[in-house]
């Protein structure tokens, strides 16, 4: 036995049951209003053309890469270049691409047409790209700090180490001869006191 009546089982309608205060009502609503929200065919001709161009390009690149690999391994690149040059010269008028003149591939040099098809705009440096993540360890100094002179010398000279134990220049506490001498003397005194 079916859970819905056969008359409400139409393909273009949907049915639902509402129960309010113990009263059961069955309602059938046609689904034609759904066409207002969704078009029948989403795969439009412009999308179909773009997809087919991508498929064609992918298939052609696959064949081209395979043929290049074979010609390099078999050492017959001159033959492939000759075939490709013939193809380019045959179809260059239709595409508008500049063709390269090749008098003969075997034993002769390849000559370029010196006439550019397009005038390219000026090429400028790319915009600065700020990398993501932690900044570099170098601290950028402000303009005020760069102008400041330390102990009569410019900031360009490297700062010398200052010892925190004896306040001497050129070493720190790990390399301080006075600290090493006094710490070894203190250790000897501790051993002699025991």
pLDDT in tens, 150-168: 555 555 556 788 899 998 8
Task: Give the span between the Cα atoms of 89 and 104, in whole angstroms.
Answer: 13
Domain membership of residue 20 as a residue range: 6-37
pLDDT of residue 132: 82
Residue 61, classed as helix, strand or coil, is: helix
Whether 80 and 49 share a structural domain = yes
**Whether this model's pTM surpasses 0.85:** no
Residue 55 lies in a domain: yes
Whether 55 and 82 share a structural domain = yes
Q: Are residues 28 and 15 in contact, defined by beta-carbon separation less than 8 angstroms?
A: yes
Residue 56 lies in a domain: yes
- Secondary structure letter of residue 162 according to DSSP: B
Whole-number CA gyration radius for the chain: 42
Task: Give the span between the Cα atoms of 59 and 56, in whole angstroms.
Answer: 5
Tell the burial category of 179 from Cβ atoms under 10 Å away from its Cβ (0-12, 13-18, 19+): middle
pLDDT of residue 158: 61
Give the range with max mean pLDDT: 9-13, 47-51, 112-116, 177-181. Answer: 177-181
DSSP secondary structure string for all residues of 131-154: PSSSPPSPPPPPHHHHH--BTTB-
Residue 173 lies in a domain: yes
Task: Give the span between the Cα atoms of 128 and 130, in whole angstroms.
Answer: 6
Number of H helices, E strands in the chain: 5, 2
Tens of pLDDT along 43-78?
Answer: 677 777 778 888 888 888 999 999 999 999 999 999
Tens of pLDDT along 73-127?
Answer: 999 999 999 998 888 888 877 666 554 555 544 444 444 444 555 565 676 777 7
- Total tally of structural domains belonging to the chain: 3
Whether 53 and 74 share a structural domain = yes
Q: Which of 8, 9, 28, 10 is nearest to 18 (CA)?
A: 28
């Amino acid at each position: 036995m079916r859970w819905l009546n056969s008359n409400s089982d139409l393909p273009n309608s949907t049915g639902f049951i509402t129960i309010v205060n113990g009263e059961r009502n069955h309602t059938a609503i046609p689904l034609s209003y759904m066409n207002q929200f969704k078009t029948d065919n989403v795969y439009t001709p412009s999308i179909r053309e773009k997809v087919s161009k991508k498929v064609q390009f992918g298939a052609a690149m696959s064949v081209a890469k395979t043929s290049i690999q074979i010609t390099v391994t078999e050492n017959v690149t001159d033959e492939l270049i000759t075939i490709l040059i013939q193809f380019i010269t045959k179809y260059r008028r239709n595409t508008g691409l500049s063709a390269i003149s090749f008098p003969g591939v075997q034993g002769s040099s390849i000559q370029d047409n010196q006439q550019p098809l397009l005038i390219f705009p000026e090429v400028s440096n790319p915009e600065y790209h700020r990398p993501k993540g932690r900044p570099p360890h170098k601290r950028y100094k402000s303009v005020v700090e760069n102008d400041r002179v330390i102990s009569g010398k410019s900031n360009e000279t490297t700062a010398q180490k200052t010892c925190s134990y004896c306040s001497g220049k050129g070493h720190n506490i790990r390399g301080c001869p006075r600290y090493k001498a006094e710490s070894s003397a203190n250790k000897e005194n501790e051993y002699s006191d025991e």
